[in-house]
Every structure is written in C-alpha cells, then in structure tokens.
Amino acid sequence: MFSSQTSSFQDSIDVEERDEFDSEDIAGYSQKIQLNCYYTIYLYQGTRSEACGENVAWNQRRADSTTSHDDFSLTLIDSSLPSEAEPELRTYISRRLSKGALLGGMGNIATVELSLPEQAIGCYCCLLEQERSPDQPDADGNGYVICFMGGSEKGLNLFRLELDKYVQGLHSSLQTPELQNLETEVRPYLSRWYEESVMHIYRVVQLVQSNISFLLHAALSHTHVEVTNADERTKADVSRFIKAASLQGLSQQDTTTASLCKAMSEDTQSDVVIDCSSSPPTLTNTVSNRFCDGWIQAFLNAAERCNPFLLRQILENFKLKAIQDMNSLKRFVRQAEMSHYALFRCCQFLQGCGNGDVLLQNARAEHSDLPEACNIIAVLDEFLGEQAQA
C-alpha cells in the first residue's frame, strides 16, 4: 500500500508542476534558472490636484519622462530597466490606469512584453496613494506606482501577498515627489524586492537541506520553531517559511486551528530549535513522518536549480495534499461511527498516508465536542501507537 501511495504522490507532483508552469517558466529540471529582475517607480498625479511651485518645477524638469492623460500624469522617478524598455512599461501602466485597472494598495500581476532579453516578463504593479488633504477632499489623489518585473506572471502570483506587504513597507519613505531619500532609502529598498519577497523559501531549504521535513512537520503540527545564533534575516526567513507551510487560515473551521494551537501549547512537546552556530546548523527536538519525508527530494531538486517559483509551488502542493488527506480522514471518521468496515478502512488510510499523527491531532481538535467521533479517534490513535511499536 505504501508503494502505491508514493506513486500517486509523485504523479500529483508532476501533474501540478505541468499545470502551473510550462517549460519556459521553470527552465526544466535539467538547468538552473538565470533570472533578471527589474524595478520601476513612477509619480502619479491627478490633473485636478493642486501642485506647489516646487513640484511644478520638478515636473517640468521631468517632462521627457512624463506621460500625460486627461485625468492624470505619470512621471518616471527611478528604474533599473534598460532605457528602451522603460517607456514601453510607462505606456502599459498608463493604459491600465486610464481603464481603472489599478486600485490603490492592491497589487496587479500580468505579463508584459518589453524590449528585454526575456521579451515577455511577469510584472507586479501597485498604486500607493497618498492621503488626501482635508482641504481638498474631492481632488484627484496623488501617489506612486511601484513595478517589480521578473520571472513569469504565474510565478509572481505565488508571491502576491509577500509583494503586497513589501510595497506597503515603502509607504513611509515616499513623502515628496522629489524623493530626496531616493539613493539612500528608496532605491536600495526597491532593488532588494526579489531577495526579500521571493527568495526566503529558497534560503531556508538551502539552510536546512534534507532536514526540511522537520520544518514541514512543525508547520503542520503547529510546533514552534526557534532559531538561535543567527542573523535577523535568517530568523525572519524561517518564521515566514513556517507560516507559508502551515494550514492556518485554510481549514474549514477557524475554531479548529485555535483548538489545535491550544492543545499543542498544553502538550509536553518541545520547540524545534535550529542552532546556526555551526554549518550546517544543528536541529534538536525534531519530529517528522513518512509523509513529510516524502517531499524532501522535491524541495532539494528545486533548490538545486535555484527555482524559487517551483519551490513555492511544491510548498502549495504539499499543503493541498495535507488538506485532501484531512478531508478524507473526516469523511472516514463519520462513516466509522456507523460501520466497523469503515473503521478498518480508516486504519488502513492512516497507515498508508504516512501523516497519521498530524491528521489525528487535527481531527481530535475539530471533533472535541462530538463524543462518538472522539471514541473513533481514540481507537485510531491506539491503532497507530501499536503500529509504531511493532
């Protein structure tokens, strides 16, 4: 039964990769990805908003980098794009703005064709609006349009939440159109978008290598992970990985996650500790299972090819499979309340899936107020304990 489970697991990995990415997106499994990343920031000004004399003078100096419409103007502030590609992007952004396709604070991801080696490239853009003056509540808003380009549209969509959060982190630095802090704050921040928003999963896999299964298990079981003797970015990377790999917010009932977290906090299980004082780091208090171990090679393969987009897709596939198994167990438990044969099938399922310990933890938390289901889960728990001893 285990061999068939492994086969179906690999098939699901292959199918998901083919569905989400084509060969050009991931550059296959045979070569490393060489990805060029770009950024651009524009000043957005509504034509009905009043500009001070200093801003008008600045706009006049930037006239050759400004695209004007009836309702707004778009002026280049800074860009890492080649000089021939930036006007093409500005034209694209202007069309999106004129159609009302860019809403304040909400990122938009699409494929754009520019004069780049990649030709077609994924583009994330977001309009950051400035607060309107109480004296001019009806005036058109001013703001900034931030664009990040790299990889494919499908790849960037996997990191939409991270990109949204990263752009919002720039809000406090955008105070005046002149951006006197451009070289000291804004440009360095924009230049790091790919490293900070996309590469964190890759860095964690590179850090722990085959020990990634311990972090996957910790994420599913809501076990806290502590990182010691490491810099702040490494600690943040691990925290973000655990959050991305967990099922919190994805379960059908929010109370399930809360109950499980409470149960885990009352448990005697210790935190997983990653000690980075040595290379490779040392992990203690680790727990894994056959299900999590089965994903190790997929993560290592994608990391070896330097493919952060594929890594994220594999992580999403991992969560999807875990959710599917949780739903299957819930269905089996309901059936087992009325049928001994269904209870037998439930035991077989838990033995074959390799993730029985985590599934039972979740089931126990979700069915805590259902006595019959609790009895079934107790029997299943005893069965798994006997199998482990055997």
Report which residue type is found at 16: E
Q: Please name which of 154, 307, 314, 328 lies closest in space to residue 245, comparing C-alpha atoms.
A: 314
What is the structure's pLDDT at 16?
44
Confidence of residue 179 (pLDDT cuts 50, 70, 90): confident
Confidence of residue 386 (pLDDT cuts 50, 70, 90): confident
Any idea which residue has 């360095």 for tokens?
188
- What residue spans of 209-355 are helical by DSSP H? 212-220, 232-245, 254-266, 290-293, 296-304, 308-336, 340-353
What does the H/E/C string look like for 107-159?
Answer: CEEEEEECCCCCCEEEEEEEEEECCCCCCCCCCCCCEEEEEEECCCHHHHHCC
80 vs 85, 315, 375, CA distance in Å? Answer: 10, 31, 62
pLDDT in tens, 58-101: 455 555 667 776 678 899 999 999 999 999 999 999 999 988 88
Query: Cα 215 from chain centroid?
Result: 16
What b-and-e string marks burial along 252-279, b requiring 16 or more CB atoms within 10 Å of the CB?
A: eeeebbebbeeeeeeeeeeebbbebeee
Residue 39 has pLDDT above 90, yes or no: yes
Cβ contact 354:5 at 8 Å: yes
Give Cβ neighbours of residue 181 (< 8 Å, ≥ 6 apart). Answer: 173, 175
The model's pTM is 0.83
pLDDT in tens, 323-382: 999 999 988 888 888 888 888 888 889 889 999 999 999 888 887 777 777 888 888 888
Q: Quick one: what percent of the chain has pLDDT higher than 70? A: 76
Six-digit token pair at 382?
């005893």
Q: Please name which of 192, 109, 199, 205 lies closest in space to residue 154, comparing C-alpha atoms.
A: 109
Confidence of residue 165 (pLDDT cuts 50, 70, 90): very high
Report which residue type is found at 310: L
pLDDT in tens, 118-142: 889 999 999 998 766 555 555 556 8
What is the structure's pLDDT at 105?
78
Taking residues 171-175, report their average pLDDT: 82
Taking residues 27-49, report their average pLDDT: 73
Q: Please name which of 214, 159, 176, 202 lies closest in space to residue 301, comparing C-alpha atoms.
A: 202
390 vs 239, 345, 385, 386, CA distance in Å? Answer: 36, 20, 9, 6
The ranges assigned to domains in the chain are: 38-47+68-182, 207-248+271-389
Q: Which range has the worst mean pLDDT, 58-72, 171-185, 195-209?
A: 58-72
In terms of phi and psi (left: phi > 0; alpha: psi -120 to 50; beta: otherwise), the region of 24 is alpha
Taking residues 237-249, report their average pLDDT: 92
Confidence of residue 6 (pLDDT cuts 50, 70, 90): very low
β-strand partners of 111: 122
Q: Which helix (H) or strand (E) holds 272?
A: strand 272-275
Confidence of residue 13 (pLDDT cuts 50, 70, 90): very low
Residue 18 has pLDDT above 50, yes or no: no
Residue 98 exposure: Cα atoms within 13 Å on the Cβ side:
12
In the chain, helix, strand, coil percent, each to 5? 55, 15, 30
Cβ contact 204:238 at 8 Å: yes
